[in-house]
Amino acid sequence: MIHAKINGIPCEVKEGTTILEAARQIYIEIPVLCKHPDLAPTAACGICIVKAKGTNKMLRACCTPIDEGMEIITHDPEIIEVRRSVVELIMSNHPNECLTCGRNQHCELQDLCGNFGIRDNAFENTVSKEVILDTNRALVFDPRKCITCGRCVQVCQEMQNVHALCFIERGYKTVITSAGVSLSESPCVKCGQCSAHCPTGAIVEYDETGKVWDLVKAEDLHTCVQIAPAVRVAIGEAFGYEPGANLTGKLYAALRRMGFDAIFDTNFGADVTIMEEASEFVSRFRDGGDELPLISSCCPAWVDFMERYHNDMIEYFSTCKSPHEMLGVLAKTYYAKQQGLDPMKIRMISVMPCTAKKWEIRRSVEMSASGYQDVDVSITTRELARMIKQAGIDFKHLPDEECDQLLGGYSGAGTIFGATGGVMEAALRTAQDLLTGEELQTVEFKQIRGLAGVREAELEIAGKPLRIAVAHGLANVESVLDKVRTAKEAGEATPYHFIEVMACPGGCVGGGGQPYGITDEQRKKRAAGLYSEDEKLKHRKSKDNPHVKKLYDDFLGEPLSEKSHRLLHTNYQPRATYAR
């Protein structure tokens, strides 16, 4: 343990603890801009400077370990003036467009300007007057607003192993670029983790709220909406709730007041996904052949990554569409038939924690299996929060309401889809019953919960060993797939029978379209909100959902039938790869 003083207050911390971390342990906040809890410190911005008493040194608190006997001063007039100058220098190369910026009121640079009382330009503004925007219709990149803190580069290269963003040039000419090409031509998989970690408005989601409002007010259209599992435990953060507060009923009420004609729940789509994916797994597992492992395909950023960099694994990918796509096609077929509606007049809006869903809805011809584009618009949790505020809805005082049950009633298995490991656990709940022919009481598989980058387990089902792996954060999937390749090349048994991958750390609860300020603490609380709801629901297995049973009885027939394959499944193609 290290013993030191910060602002005269004694502290005792583990060896290797940085000054920044030590200060936070005794409730002293040192301002930061480039440092994020998910990322290793880079000391790029210089705002976290502090003094070591008895020396003339100013140290960067984010990357400097505190030593035995150190006496640190974190705030005095000189330090504050230096920090103020750093912010003013950053602002000299930053556009004054706060009112029209996508991060207005949620910008870390804006907060610092407010805290330091910066009201005018201390230095000549050198920002180009030319508006430079780059978009792939999932994300928007405005390099004029970039402060070269490097967070997005760290996330893209180290956390996600995508390498769509990088630094070029040196010194004051340093810029961040999308691999020297446009964003749409880059290796970007649209996961949105860059936007979730960017402190300014340099990278934001592609806003489609105006398009949604146009669809809602069109009197000749029947506009439906669905909400993803992870949205309900995160959107409250935009209205003053703690992370993890489950606000499903209030969300239904808000959407109804906004004017949507039908309110559905993606959790229902998740239950249908499990019926198809668990059946797919059981079929492969019983054969025990070369078709294993089965790899989950619910995450569009992971699908994009796989088609680019791991397309030798296509044969192992589940052909199931993601839950919101399944619900989209069912809305324009099953729901349209049940309600006597013209599918050409139905519009489906998905509210997702994800920016990659904006790409997924146009990914391939199978995403129009109804004869029309199955999901018309996908917006993020952040976009919906803005729309609720635009509608003048007092979210906190809304009563809880129900969704439309035909495509809305769900099981606990459907709701845990939003957390890493949730797809695997939901699938196992149904797969074990299908394999044994019994109604087993085991519904919780806690060994695959948590935030470790890769989690492995071996279970026994129907007298057979079942080896599973769960990975989240794209950089973590490489080791799992390498084990599969090595075994296949050696002619050995597969090390895993079932693999779940989610692109975003924490799974969908940590998606690139969720409220800003993501940390592991938030990911844990949001996931806990989903597991808490699961425990309270009457039905905790997808196959027990009465609404899903009715769907198969009245429309689909059975899982993996010809109709379900045509409507609910897709295929994959190798696509352009990039050197990483």
Residues forming the active site:
277, 280, 298, 318, 357, 360, 366, 508
Q: SS3 of 500, please?
A: strand
Joined together, the tokens standing for residue 485 give: 């390749």
* Sequence-distant (≥ 6) Cβ neighbours of residue 160 within 8 angstroms: 189, 191, 193, 473, 474, 475, 503
Q: Identify the three-state secondary structure at position 570.
A: coil
Q: How far is CA 282 from CA 296, 302, 424, 432, 541, in A?
A: 14, 23, 13, 9, 16
Look at residue 461 and give its three-state secondary structure.
strand
β-pair partners for 502: 472
Nearest to 337 by CA among 554, 552, 565, 550: 554
Strands 464-472 and 454-461: antiparallel
Q: How far apart are CA 504 and CA 189, in angstroms?
A: 11
The residue among 486, 572, 577 whose CA lies nearest residue 297 is 572
Q: How many residues does the chain have?
A: 580
Beta pairing partners, 499: 295, 469
User: 350 - beta bridge partners?
Assistant: 226, 378
- C-alpha closest to that of 301 among 159, 148, 483, 485: 159
Q: Report the C-alpha dihedral over residues 298, 302, 305, 311, rounded to 10 degrees.
A: -50
Question: Which residues sit opposite 71 in a β-bridge?
Answer: 5
Per the listing, tokens 């929060």 go with 385
Q: Is 58:50 a contact under the CB 8 Å cutoff?
A: yes
**Sign of the torsion formed by the C-alpha atoms of 14, 19, 21 and 26:** positive
Cα distance between residue 161 and residue 474, in whole Å: 6
CB of 322 closer than 8 Å to CB of 359: no
Q: Are 487 and 495 in contact (CB under 8 A)?
A: yes
**Sign of the dihedral through C-alpha 513, 514, 516, 518:** negative
Longest dimension (CA), the chain: 81
Query: Which tokens go with 257?
Result: 């007041």
In the block, residue with structure tokens 């998910």: 38
Partners of 460 in the β-ladder: 465
Q: How far from the centroid of its chain's Cα atoms is residue 347's Cα?
A: 24
